C-alpha cells in the first residue's frame, strides 16, 4: 500500500504553463501519475503535454474530479493558490514553491487545517509512492516499490538514502519530502500516524536536520505511540556553532535543535540513528532481516 498518493490519485498542476510546471508535468506523466488538468488564469482552452488547462481550480475539479494538486507558482501567489485549491475541495496539496513569506506560510497552515486537508511543503520535493504515483520533482528513477516509508526535511538526503536502499534491494512504500521552512504543512508526527495505519509499511526512516524541535517531538511520539521500527539520520552534526545553515527552519534555540540533542532524543526513543546515509540503509537492511 502507500499513504497520501497511489495509482488512483487524480492531480492537477497549478502553474502548469510555466517552465517548471510544464517540465515536471511531463516527468510526472511519464511516471504514470494521473495528471488530469492544469490551472493558469487566462490560459483556459490550451493544453500542456496533452493535459487540458483551466482558468480556475474549481472548474478543473468540476471537470476532472481531481483530488490532489501540485503547485508551481511564484512565491507571491503561492498562498492564494493553496487557498484556492482547498476551497475547491482538493484534499492533498503539494507546494513545491520556495521563498514564501513566513506570514503567508502561517495563513496556509491554518487554512489547510480548517479545511481538513493535507499540505506537503512548501519548499519541498514532493511525494512519491513508487510504482504508483509521483507528485513532485524527485528523480524517480532511484526509487523502487517496497515496504519502507521515508519522511525527510532534506531533499537531497532523501534521494541519497532512497538510492542506497534501492541498491540494497529494499523498496519504499511512500517517500515524503516535508520541506525545510520554519512553518510547513505536515510534520513528522502527522505523517508517522499515517504510516502507523498503513499495513504494508514495515519500517520508517526519519531524516532530520539541525534547527527547530520537530525531531525531538517526533521522538516523544515514537516512544509513546508508534509501534513500528524507526531508523533515523540527522544532518548537521559538523555544523559550526553560531553559523546559520541551509534551510529557514535551521534555527537553534535554548540548547534544542542541535544535532546532538536530536540524536539523543531519538536514541532515547530506541531509534537507531545512522552516522551516514549509507549506514542508515545498512541499519534498515538489518532491521528488516531481523
Q: Which residue has the cell 476551497?
A: 87
CATH of 10-120, one of 3.90.1150.10, 3.10.350.10, 3.40.50.720, 3.90.79.10: 3.40.50.720
10-120 and 139-289 share one fold: yes
**What radius of gyration, in Å, describes the C-alpha atoms of the chain?**
18
| Span 128-179, pLDDT tens digits | 999 999 999 999 999 999 999 999 998 899 999 999 999 999 999 999 999 9
Q: Domain coordinates of the chain in residue numbers?
A: 10-120, 139-289
Segments of 60-165 assigned E as strands: 68-71, 92-95, 118-120, 126-129, 133-136, 145-152
**Residue 255 CB burial class (10 angstroms; 0-12, 13-18, ≥19):** exposed
pTM score: 0.94
| Span 190-237, pLDDT tens digits | 999 999 999 999 999 999 998 888 999 999 999 999 999 999 999 876
154-to-10, 72, 119, 159 alpha-carbon distances in Å:
26, 19, 17, 9
Catalytic residues: 247
Q: Which residue has the cell 552516522?
A: 275
Q: How far apart are the first and last CA of the chain?
A: 22
What does the alpha-carbon distance between residue 142 and residue 166 come to, in Å, rounded to a whole number? 7
CATH of region 139-289: 3.40.50.261
Amino acid at each position: 500500500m502507500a499513504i497520501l498518493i497511489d495509482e488512483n490519485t487524480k492531480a492537477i498542476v497549478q502553474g502548469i504553463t510555466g517552465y517548471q510546471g510544464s517540465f515536471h508535468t511531463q516527468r510526472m506523466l511519464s511516471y504514470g501519475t494521473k495528471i488530469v488538468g492544469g490551472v493558469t488564469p487566462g490560459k483556459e482552452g490550451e493544453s500542456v503535454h496533452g493535459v487540458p488547462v483551466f482558468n480556475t481550480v474549481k472548474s478543473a475539479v468540476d471537470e476532472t474530479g481531481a483530488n490532489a494538486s501540485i503547485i508551481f507558482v511564484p512565491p507571491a501567489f503561492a498562498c492564494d493558490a493553496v487557498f484556492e485549491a482547498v476551497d475547491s475541495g482538493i484534499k492533498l496539496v503539494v507546494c513545491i514553491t520556495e521563498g514564501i513569506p513566513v506570514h503567508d506560510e502561517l495563513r496556509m497552515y491554518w487554512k489547510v487545517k480548517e479545511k481538513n486537508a493535507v499540505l506537503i511543503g512548501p519548499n519541498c520535493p514532493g511525494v512519491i509512492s513508487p510504482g504508483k504515483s509521483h507528485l513532485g520533482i524527485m528523480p524517480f528513477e532511484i526509487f523502487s516499490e517496497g515496504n519502507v516509508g521515508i519522511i525527510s526535511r532534506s531533499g537531497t538526503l532523501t534521494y541519497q538514502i532512497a538510492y542506497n536502499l534501492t541498491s540494497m534491494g529494499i523498496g519504499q512504500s511512500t517517500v515524503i519530502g516535508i520541506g525545510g521552512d520554519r512553518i510547513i504543512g505536515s510534520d513528522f508526527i502527522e505523517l508517522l500516524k499515517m504510516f502507523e495505519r498503513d499495513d504494508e509499511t514495515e519500517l520508517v526512516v526519519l531524516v532530520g536536520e539541525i534547527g527547530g524541535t520537530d525531531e525531538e517531538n517526533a521522538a516523544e511520539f515514537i516512544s509513546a505511540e508508534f509501534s513500528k521500527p524507526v531508523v533515523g539520520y540527522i544532518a548537521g552534526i559538523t555544523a559550526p556553532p553560531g553559523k546559520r545553515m541551509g534551510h529557514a527552519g535551521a534555527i537553534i534555540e535554548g540548547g534544542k535543535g542541535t544535532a546532538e540533542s536530536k540524536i539523543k532524543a531519538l536514541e532515547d526513543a530506541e531509534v537507531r540513528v545512522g552516522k551516514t546515509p549509507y549506514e542508515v540503509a545498512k541499519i534498515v537492511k538489518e532491521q528488516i532481516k531481523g
